[in-house]
Structure 1
Amino acid sequence: MKAGWETKPLGEIIQLEYGKPLDASQRKSDGLYPVYGANGEKDRSDTFFYDKPSIIVGRKGSAGEVNLTEARFWPLDVTYFVTFDETRFDLQFLYHLLSHLELPKLAKGVKPGINRNEVYAIDVATPRLPEQQRIVTILDEAFAGIAMARAAAEQNRQNARAFFESHLQSVFSQRGEGWMEVTVGQLVRDGVIAKPQDGNHGEIHPTKADYVEVGIPFLMAADLLGGRVDTKGCRFISEQQARSLRIGFSVDQDVLLSHKGTIGRVAILETDQEFVMLTPQVTYYRVLKKSEISNHYLYFYFHSPKFRNQIEHVAGAGSTRAYIGITKQLDLKILLPPIAIQQQLAVQLKALQDESRHLESLYMRKLTALDELKQSLLHQAFSGNL
């Protein structure tokens, strides 16, 4: 630690003042002053509670989150706001210091909250005011550069995904010779696919109490990730219980579609097990006549904007929670070219999807590296090494 730095409890540097409730009648979206909740600005009001710039620290809910305020603001009762001796400390320095301390780790309880006495007890090292201001200048300049680089990486990540999605839109907007539009129900009646099926509903549905450490994968919508099925990190039920169930047995190469709560996640099941079990959130689509339909084509068609618009419309009709029952799924329309074209498109789309995911992965790693750089700079700053 450099000379001139002093270590003391945070409670000797700042005070965390309680925010106050604000009646709904005093809130207005076009108000003059910001109203802060635990994780940032929540509303506006023509009334303010504190007339200096400060720092909001989430007290309940998004406990420990840190935000800078405008000059006049209203802090809600789920927050603390910071007061301090302005002759000895710089506001921006204290903001960076509190951000560096990772206060959310102090949160406790079912509705996470932080106790200000625990915050006060943290020992921190601070230099004199001129050195604080020098550090702030360096951090602000560096963080501005990081923010620009991060925005560019995020845009590039989105562009990589958008390129693949735009190609899907283009492919499935056309109709060549031999293309036809059929319903899922027609494919079932013609024996091309099995009747789609989800997991057991009602009293027979396995519950949390039935989960075991090792057993048969019990797949929920959340287990369909990036076109793949997570059969390792999912829930499990015993084989004995699984075999006692009536429906929901999914097998290798089934196309899985989430249809309840989280609508439209798609994956192809790859497993060496005899079967896995589905919850009522997931439907399997099983190809019976491979000479007429490719499961990989079906997988990509389910990703297309054309199909997604269809299921979102059906899922949202007359329901407060997104859901498409099996009966409604039978009415969904699928655009089918001849099998040779299906197979060709599946190969082409797989190559594009792999490239898109590779680019997304590269940009995600860059975003992670930029976040790590920011934390490294904060660590250096508050270790006296900047």
Structure 2
Amino acid sequence: MKKEWSYKKLNKVCKVERGSSPRPIKEYLTTDSSGVNWIKIGDTKNVDKYIFSTKEKITIEGAKKSRYVKEGDFILSNSMSFGKPYIMKTDGFIHDGWFVLRLNENINSEFFWYLLSSPVVSKQFNMLASGAIVKNISSDLVKKVVLPIPPIPEQQRIVEILDQAFAAIDQAIANTEKNLQNAQELFDSYLNSVFIDPPEYWKSCELNDHVKFIDYRGHTPNKIETGMRLITAKNVKLGYLKNEPEEFVDPNIYDSWMVRGIPRKGDVLFTTEAPLANVAQLDTDEKVLFAQRIIILQPNENKLDQTYLKYLLLSSPIRRKIFENGTGATVKGIKAKLLKKIKIYFPEDILIQKKIVQELDSMWSNSQSLQSNYKQKLTNLHELKQSILQKAFNGELT
């Protein structure tokens, strides 16, 4: 660090206060015009730096039991996106999941935001919160964070350099995110083109005509640290099975639990709600248990190819039918008896189904490869930001 820089504790460059929550909060929420802004973690979704508005308001009485923040104040999350700083562009009130930081006059606010966003500070936050099950630290600990502070002219110079560098990186991120979206949409477009207007010679029937339903919805077995793999709706994504979260049950309960039917590798897994209509295939021959909002679809192998069924259920025409038959205002779901009646269509010749699958598998593989590359590029760009910030606050920017 350059000799003209100094180290100062956070509470020496700003006033630190923790938010406060009126409880129970539901009694203080209001839609009345007299309400005041109630700032929640959810208001930061897709927000990088500035908070301009809030989704909810609280009453004046609720505000008296909370902490006021004004335009220009910094707020720092103490939960969820832990340690992430935001600059207020409106006023309002914060709950105890936030800290408010009010700067002294000798700190450039844009410099301060970059500093709080840097590894120099985030590493200290993580150390202060180490050992906690849920990362959450007190205002006394936050105040002890040590900051490298250069003179004001140097702060301004650093901001100018970072603004220019981050603008270029942000444009690269936006372009990469668009490419990532296009890679998925390209596959979706091809998938839908296969099923949106099927040939007249394809057979049509109800889903349960050639598909066995093995329904393991209902209560969940007791989980343990290690044992037999448990697959729930949380593992079933659109087109693939995700390992996380990894959950396990006692293997000794397998025979008594799996009495409704034994799945085969390649069988189609369908989520009936939260979320509705995620579809994947079982990817292992090993014994696994199922629970929570999953129906296993086991097609008659003489009539329907397993993977063909997966792709068919992923296509927009069939998903539209499923959602049209779904119920529930808040959480959309479908009853098994309605799912069984969904009309499907397919070429009766299994070899034609397998040819369709082969083409779709190839498109899927190419799409996943592209998406993997773009996701890695996004990771690299975000890491580049952190690397630049590290250099900036080590006094290494030239």
What TM-score results when the alignment is normalised by the length of structure 1? Answer: 0.85
Match of 1:10?
10
Give the direction of change, closer, same or farther, for the CA distance of 1:223–1:6 in structure 2 (3 Å limit).
same
Within the candidate set 356, 377, 380, 2:391 is matched to 380
Q: Which aligned pairs between 1:16-35 and structure 2 lie closer than 5 A?
A: 16-19=16-19, 24=29
Match of 1:37?
40
1:169 aligns with 2:192: yes
- Per-residue deviation, residues 142-199 of structure 1 (Å, max 9, x unmatched): 1111111111100110011011111222211112141132111322xxxxx3x21122
SS at match of 2:215: coil
SS at match of 2:276: strand
Structure 1 residue 90 displacement after superposition: 0.5
User: Counterpart amino acid of 1:286?
Assistant: Q
Match of 2:263?
250
Give the direction of change, closer, same or farther, for the CA distance of 1:21–1:180 in structure 2 (3 Å limit).
same
Q: Which aligned pairs between 1:337-356 and structure 2 lie closer than 5 A?
A: 337-339=347-349, 340-356=351-367
- Asked if the contact 2:312–2:318 (Cα under 8 Å) also holds between the matched residues in 1, the reply is yes
1:297 aligns with 2:297: no
Give the direction of change, closer, same or farther, for the CA distance of 1:224–1:60 in structure 2 (3 Å limit).
closer
What is the RMSD computed on CA atoms of the aligned residues? Answer: 3.0
Structure 1 residue 36 displacement after superposition: 3.6
1:336 aligns with 2:340: no
SS at match of 1:266: strand
User: Counterpart amino acid of 1:17?
Assistant: E
Match of 2:214?
197
User: Counterpart amino acid of 1:143?
Assistant: F
Match of 2:85?
66
Within the candidate set 365, 380, 384, 1:369 is matched to 380
Q: Distance in 2 between matches of 1:318 and 1:200?
A: 17
Structure 1 residue 21 displacement after superposition: 6.8
Give the direction of change, closer, same or farther, for the CA distance of 1:52–1:280 in structure 2 (3 Å limit).
closer
Q: Distance in 1 between matches of 2:241 and 2:136?
A: 35
Q: What residue ranges of structure 1 are gaps of 5+ in the alignment?
A: 188-192
SS at match of 1:356: helix
Count of aligned residue pairs for this structure pair: 368
Match of 2:333?
323
1:213 aligns with 2:226: yes
- Asked if the contact 1:6–1:127 (Cα under 8 Å) also holds between the matched residues in 2, the reply is yes
Give the direction of change, closer, same or farther, for the CA distance of 1:51–1:242 in structure 2 (3 Å limit).
closer
What TM-score results when the alignment is normalised by the length of structure 2? Answer: 0.82
| Identical residues among aligned pairs (%) | 28
Q: Which aligned pairs between 1:222-233 and structure 2 lie closer than 5 A?
A: 222-225=234-237, 227-230=239-242
- Asked if the contact 2:16–2:102 (Cα under 8 Å) also holds between the matched residues in 1, the reply is yes
Match of 2:163?
140
- Per-residue deviation, residues 253-302 of structure 1 (Å, max 9, x unmatched): 211112232222222223232x4221142111113333x22111111111
- Per-residue deviation, residues 341-382 of structure 1 (Å, max 9, x unmatched): 322211111111111111111110111011000000111111
User: Counterpart amino acid of 1:251?
Assistant: R
Give the direction of change, closer, same or farther, for the CA distance of 1:14–1:151 in structure 2 (3 Å limit).
same
Give the direction of change, closer, same or farther, for the CA distance of 1:325–1:278 in structure 2 (3 Å limit).
farther
Match of 2:48?
none
User: Counterpart amino acid of 2:343?
Assistant: K
User: Counterpart amino acid of 1:13?
Assistant: V
Q: Distance in 2 between matches of 1:222 and 1:235?
A: 10
Q: Which moved more, 1:114-123 or 1:360-369?
A: 114-123
- Asked if the contact 1:200–1:247 (Cα under 8 Å) also holds between the matched residues in 2, the reply is no
- Asked if the contact 2:217–2:295 (Cα under 8 Å) also holds between the matched residues in 1, the reply is no
Q: Distance in 2 between matches of 1:170 and 1:322?
A: 26
- Asked if the contact 1:36–1:73 (Cα under 8 Å) also holds between the matched residues in 2, the reply is no
Match of 2:325?
314
- Asked if the contact 1:35–1:74 (Cα under 8 Å) also holds between the matched residues in 2, the reply is yes
Q: Distance in 2 between matches of 1:199 and 1:348?
A: 32
Match of 1:95?
113
- Asked if the contact 1:248–1:278 (Cα under 8 Å) also holds between the matched residues in 2, the reply is no
Give the direction of change, closer, same or farther, for the CA distance of 1:231–1:5 in structure 2 (3 Å limit).
closer
